[in-house]
A and B are shown apart, each in its own frame.
Chain A
Amino acid sequence: MKRWVFFCLLLALPAWGAVGDPNERLPDPAKEALAREIGRELRCLVCQNQSIEDSDAQLARDLRRLVRERVAAGEDQTAVIRFVHERYGDFVLLRPPVTAATMLLWATPILALGGGIAVIMFRRRRALAEAAALSPDEAKRLAELDRGAA
């Protein structure tokens, strides 16, 4: 059991690494938590599939520092994200805003769900229709079976 726990902790090691340099952190844990939450919303533009909190790129480090400075100065999440958004555009937001260009992106889950429901309904209707229409042979055989069971 002990060994198992140790193994699990070992597996989690990379996650500890992602927390970042301890001397980057803000002394106030509430503000640090807010800064981290903001950082997770912002894309690192160098290694584009990571947030600035997860990335080790120089630019991500600079942006982390900038976010922390603004949080320490008392800005809220919207204000900090707006500041970065004004400079790097929609691309920096890991949660892109709904615009004409991102419509399809946002609508995909709904479209997929609607498509799935349509397929299910179509199949059920067909199954019902087929069940209703027995061929004369089938009807005869069914009648025979019924008689046999009785």
Chain B
Amino acid sequence: MSDSAPPKRSRRWMLYAPLGLAAAAGAGFYAMLQGLQDGSYNPRGVPSVLLGKPAPDFSLPALEGVGLPALASADLRGPLPGPALVNFWASWCAPCIIEHPQLMRLSREGVAVYGINYKDRIPEAGAFLQRHGNPYRRLGRDEPGRTAIDWGVYGVPETYLLDRQGMIRWRWAGPITADTLENELRPLLRRYA
């Protein structure tokens, strides 16, 4: 721009447009950073397509040697006596160990926790429950991982909350820490009680 004459009025927006764009982008990034911090935004998170839908059809065998009944989708159809959790886990999964005390706590409080043992060996899975306790009412064994694919599971642990009608209301990918339990899960359990 020649500096002798001030820019014409009609072109002034060209000066402010980049500024506005930068401000908008800045606000967007700020919101993303905030979301990353409080956990509401996860760029690597895969949103579940099952939210608001019943559990997909499946029927899994029991895990031998632990004395728990098997699990099938029929067990998760409403009306249920209360909200229920379906937890995908494996003995080889380290975050599952972190999560286990929270599941034990919920189970002691009377929340129905159902388990799906993912791609595991029978003796190891049994030993895991012996060592860390058993929070599950029923436990299905998904050795080929096909049921997990039907649920849209992409890693263990993963946990789903079903309301009394058997509709999936919440999915948590990763371990349920004490923090997750208090801040995310408890309010939902109250809401769907």
A residues near B (Cβ < 8 Å) are: 45-46, 48, 58-59, 62-63, 66, 86-89, 91-92, 122, 130
Contact indicator A59/B152 (Cβ below 8 Å): no
Chain A residues near B151 (CB-CB < 8 A)? 87
Q: B149: which of A46, A63, A89 is its contact (CB, 8 Å)?
A: A63
Contact indicator B48/A66 (Cβ below 8 Å): no
Contact indicator A130/B154 (Cβ below 8 Å): no
Contact indicator B152/A87 (Cβ below 8 Å): yes
- Whether a CB of chain A sits under 8 angstroms from the CB of B150 is yes
Contact indicator B145/A62 (Cβ below 8 Å): yes
Assembly CA distance A63 to B145 (angstroms): 10
Q: A88: which of B2, B154, B155 is its contact (CB, 8 Å)?
A: B154
Chain A residues near B155 (CB-CB < 8 A)? 45-46, 59
Chain A residues near B144 (CB-CB < 8 A)? 62
Chain A residues near B48 (CB-CB < 8 A)? 89
Contact indicator B2/A130 (Cβ below 8 Å): yes
Assembly CA distance A62 to B155 (angstroms): 12
- Whether a CB of chain A sits under 8 angstroms from the CB of B190 is no
- Whether a CB of chain A sits under 8 angstroms from the CB of B169 is no
Q: Pick 13 A–B contacts, CB within 8 A, sort by A.
A: A45-B154, A48-B44, A59-B154, A62-B146, A66-B149, A87-B151, A88-B46, A88-B49, A88-B154, A89-B48, A91-B46, A92-B46, A122-B14
Q: B46: which of A45, A66, A86, A130 is its contact (CB, 8 Å)?
A: A45
- Whether a CB of chain A sits under 8 angstroms from the CB of B119 is yes
Chain A residues near B149 (CB-CB < 8 A)? 59, 62-63, 66, 87
Chain B residues near A58 (CB-CB < 8 A)? 119, 145
Contact indicator B2/A89 (Cβ below 8 Å): no
Assembly CA distance A23 to B176 (angstroms): 38
- Whether a CB of chain A sits under 8 angstroms from the CB of B123 is no
